[in-house]
Structure formats: structure tokens, C-alpha cells
């Protein structure tokens, strides 16, 4: 990837201006494309990015990375949104996901690539989507990404130190990352819709609790029985393993500690906007395309303190150091992180 350069006349990938495929598309979308319609959370991440991207108004291109991009819906939403809100910015979107089996079906990225290519054919998604093994460093040179985002990923990450360390390494000085995910504090685990399953560390207890809750009619068991014909013991055994092996919730304290170890500023900016726009959309209002840029503060912290018990929070990280400044100091921090994270001999 080239280093960022400046250019006075900037456009968003000039050859890449297809019609939006989401809400504003005139024609009825095909089934594959309608599968790529953004969720409420994708629109929230988009509204944060649209609020913050002006920080990088002098950069050409502005590089945005979606970590744990899954089926590519967030990437497509950002693509369509930023064309509308920032037509003068040239934006390059990248997606990263992991090859290790777990949350996604084997080979899912082929579908992601095919669907994105069909929806936004002007972009070479083959080159923009990157896959790595979970223990590998990310395939980006240091300091090349302006904005990193992730949606519903961090609660699945096994090694958060490596995850945020690679985020720090990939970001430019002054870069930001925005991660929307639930903390360990929330009460109703959203994969199973059973309270507190994610807080139980004993597998036997976990299996018994999933079984008992399912028999009481709590959670997704009935739906699974209808769809897959599973009995309650099979459902409980499979999902106890899912929770124990494929989720890894952080408390706010653990998050603060891991982010600090990776030398980034932590705040919960825009968490309040997430819940306000949820409330407004429940009342029938349209979700905002872009938020007003937030400076953060007490309200955000207080909102997060309460709202973390309900659902996801917005974790806002900045790679900035007003004390020592950017440049060699950031590089030194980067090198000390690299020693910790990267096996020797890896090419960048």
C-alpha cells in the first residue's frame, strides 16, 4: 500500500459511483444485494465515521479498515454513505477477517467478495479484503489506516492485546478506531437471549443454566428446535460450548487495561448517540446519517456506566499523544509492541 499523499483535487474513486443499494435504491434489490442491507449498528458506526472523517480532510486517500468485516455489510454501507456525505473525499475501504474456524462458516469470505463485487463493482474487493490467521500480524504496513472500525467483533476476540496492538500499529498518528460491542456487564446475552450466560465460567453450570432457561421458554431454544430439530440437551451442549469457546467478553476495567497497554486513548464517545438513535427509531424517526462530532465528556462516561448493562457500547480510541507528540515516540511505542506481538521474520 502506498504511503498517504496529498492532492488538491480529490474525488471518491471517480470510476466508482454506482447507485446506493440500500434505502434509497429505486429498483427492487436482488436477494443477494438485499442481504447486504445495513443493520441499525452498521448505520451507527457509519454515523460516527461520517462525524469524524473531517479530521482527515487533507489526506488523500483516507483509508478505513473494517476489522472482522464478516459479510461486508458495514463496508458497503460506509461506501454508499461516504459517497453521499463526503463526495470530495477519496476513501479507500479495507476489510479484514480471520481464517480460523469459529464464528463464521468456512469459506464465508468468498461470498463476501462476490456480493461486494456485485454491489460495488468499481472497487477491486479481491485486493481490499484481507484474511489472516488469528495469531498472525495484520497485512498492513505500520501507520497506514486513518480510521479502523469493528462491529460486534471484540466480544469474539480471544487475544485483545494482540487485536488492539495491531490496531495501534496499523493506525496513522492521530488515527482513530471505533468499536461497537457489548461488555461483560450486560445482562441479557444477545446471541442466546438468556440472561448472564456469558458470566458463567463453569461449563457444567453453564450447560445446566442454558437447559433450564430453555425449558422455561427463555431464549432461542424454541426457534432452534423448529429450524434444526435439536432437542434441549443438544441445544444446551452446543451453546454452552459456543459461549465458552467462541465469546470472550471484557469488563470495562479489563478493556481500560488492555487499551492502556496498547498506548491508546480510551473513551466511550457516541455511546449516548447509539441509545438516543435507537429510542428515536423505535418512535419512528429516521436514524441519523451522521452525528454531530462529539468532544466526549462526563455525559458519555455516565451514559456508558448505565447503558453497558443493556447492550453494546461504543469504544472510541485515539492514537494520539499530546504529551510527547507523534513521530519517533509513537514509533518507539510501536516497536516495543511489535517485539511483544510479532514473530521475527515477518515482512511488512
Ligand X SMILES: C[S@@+](CC[C@H](N)C(=O)[O-])C[C@H]1O[C@@H](n2cnc3c(N)ncnc32)[C@H](O)[C@@H]1O
Q: Does residue 148 bind ligand X (CB under 6 A)? A: no
| C-alpha cell at position 14 | 471517480
Alpha-helical (H) ranges within 53-192 are 73-85, 108-119, 125-128, 160-170
Q: Which residue has the cell 463476501?
A: 112
Query: Interaction with ligand X in 221-280: which residues (CB under 6 A)?
Result: none
Interface with ligand X (CB under 6 A), residue from 65, 91, 98, 176: 98
Q: Does residue 156 bind ligand X (CB under 6 A)? A: yes
Interface segment toward ligand X; rule CB under 6 A; list 48-56, 148-156, 200-208, 230-238: 148-156
Interface segment toward ligand X; rule CB under 6 A; list 8-16, 26-34, 96-104, 228-236: 96-104
| C-alpha cell at position 3 | 504511503
Give me the 111-140 binding string for ligand X, x by CB under 6 A, dash otherwise.
-----------------------x------
Q: How many CB atoms lie within 10 A of CB 193?
A: 14
Compute CA 281 distance to the chain's CA centroid, rounded to the nearest angstrom: 21
Residue whose CB is less far from ligand X, 60 or 72: 72
Interface with ligand X (CB under 6 A), residue from 51, 103, 176, 330: 103
Three-state DSSP at 280 gives helix
Q: Does residue 97 bind ligand X (CB under 6 A)? A: yes
Contact 167, 139 (CB under 8 A): no
DSSP single-letter state for residue 266: E
User: Among 49, 56, 65, which Cα is nearest to 1's?
Assistant: 65
Interface with ligand X (CB under 6 A), residue from 65, 153, 194, 258: 153
Query: Interaction with ligand X in 2-61: which residues (CB under 6 A)?
Result: none
Q: How many CB atoms lie within 10 A of CB 123?
A: 20
Interface segment toward ligand X; rule CB under 6 A; list 94-102, 115-123, 236-244, 299-307: 94-102
What is the nearest approach in angstroms of ligand X to the Cβ of residue 38? 9
Interface with ligand X (CB under 6 A), residue from 152, 214, 312, 314: 152
Residue whose CB is less far from ligand X, 104 or 170: 104
Q: Does residue 182 bind ligand X (CB under 6 A)? A: no
What is the nearest approach in angstroms of ligand X to the Cβ of residue 140? 13
Q: Does residue 311 bind ligand X (CB under 6 A)? A: no
Rounded to whole angstroms, how far apart are CA atoms 65 and 21? 21
Rounded to whole angstroms, how far apart are CA atoms 304 and 308? 6
Q: Which residues share a beta bridge with 129?
A: 95
Contacts 24+ apart (CB under 8 A), 191-195: 191/239, 191/242, 191/243, 191/247, 192/219, 192/220, 192/239, 192/242, 192/243, 193/218, 193/219, 193/220, 194/218, 194/219
Interface segment toward ligand X; rule CB under 6 A; list 151-159, 249-257, 291-299, 310-318: 151-159
What is the nearest approach in angstroms of ligand X to the Cβ of residue 286? 21
Interface segment toward ligand X; rule CB under 6 A; list 55-63, 149-157, 169-177, 305-313: 149-157
Give me the 50-89 binding string for ligand X, x by CB under 6 A, dash otherwise.
-----------------xxxxx-xx---------------
Task: Report the length, in residues, of the chain.
Answer: 348
CA dihedral angle for residue 43, residue 50, residue 271, residue 165, rounded to 10 degrees: 100
Size of site (CB under 6 A) for ligand X: 19
The residues that touch ligand X, with contacts defined as CB under 6 A, are 67-71, 73-74, 96-98, 103-104, 134, 151-153, 156-157, 163
Amino acid at each position: 500500500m502506498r504511503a498517504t499523499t496529498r492532492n488538491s483535487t480529490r474525488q471518491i474513486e471517480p470510476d466508482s459511483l454506482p447507485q446506493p443499494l440500500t434505502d434509497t435504491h429505486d429498483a427492487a434489490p436482488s436477494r443477494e444485494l438485499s442481504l447486504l442491507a445495513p443493520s441499525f449498528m452498521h448505520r451507527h458506526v457509519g454515523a460516527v465515521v461520517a462525524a469524524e472523517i473531517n479530521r482527515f480532510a487533507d489526506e488523500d486517500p483516507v483509508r478505513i479498515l473494517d476489522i472482522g468485516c464478516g459479510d461486508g455489510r458495514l463496508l458497503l454501507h460506509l461506501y454508499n454513505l461516504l459517497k453521499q456525505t463526503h463526495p470530495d473525499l477519496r476513501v479507500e475501504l479495507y476489510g479484514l477477517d480471520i481464517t480460523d474456524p469459529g464464528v463464521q462458516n468456512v469459506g464465508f469470505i468468498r461470498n463476501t467478495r462476490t456480493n461486494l463485487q456485485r454491489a460495488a463493482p468499481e472497487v477491486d474487493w479481491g485486493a481490499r479484503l484481507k484474511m489472516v490467521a488469528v495469531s498472525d500480524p495484520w497485512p498492513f504496513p505500520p501507520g497506514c489506516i486513518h480510521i479502523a472500525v469493528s462491529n460486534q467483533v471484540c466480544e469474539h476476540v480471544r487475544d485483545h492485546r494482540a487485536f488492539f496492538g495491531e490496531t495501534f500499529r496499523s493506525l496513522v498518528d492521530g488515527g482513530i478506531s471505533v468499536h461497537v460491542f457489548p461488555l461483560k456487564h450486560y445482562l441479557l446475552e444477545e446471541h442466546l437471549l438468556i440472561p448472564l450466560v456469558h458470566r458463567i465460567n463453569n461449563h457444567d453450570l453453564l450447560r445446566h443454566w442454558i437447559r433450564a432457561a430453555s425449558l422455561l421458554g427463555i431464549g432461542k431454544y424454541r426457534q432452534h428446535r423448529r429450524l434444526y430439530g435439536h432437542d434441549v440437551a443438544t441445544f444446551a451442549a452446543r451453546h454452552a460450548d459456543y459461549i465458552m469457546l467462541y465469546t470472550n467478553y471484557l469488563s470495562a476495567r479489563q478493556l481500560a487495561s488492555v487499551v492502556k497497554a496498547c498506548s491508546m486513548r480510551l473513551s466511550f464517545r457516541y455511546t449516548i448517540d447509539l441509545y438516543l438513535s435507537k429510542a428515536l427509531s423505535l418512535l419512528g424517526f429516521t436514524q441519523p446519517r451522521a452525528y454531530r462530532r462529539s468532544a466526549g465528556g462526563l455525559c458519555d462516561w455516565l451514559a456508558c456506566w448505565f447503558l453497558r448493562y443493556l447492550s453494546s457500547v461504543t469504544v472510541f480510541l485515539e492514537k494520539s499523544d499530546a504529551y510527547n507528540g507523534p513521530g519517533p515516540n509513537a514509533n518507539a511505542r510501536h516497536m516495543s509492541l511489535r517485539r511483544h506481538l510479532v514473530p521475527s521474520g515477518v515482512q511488512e
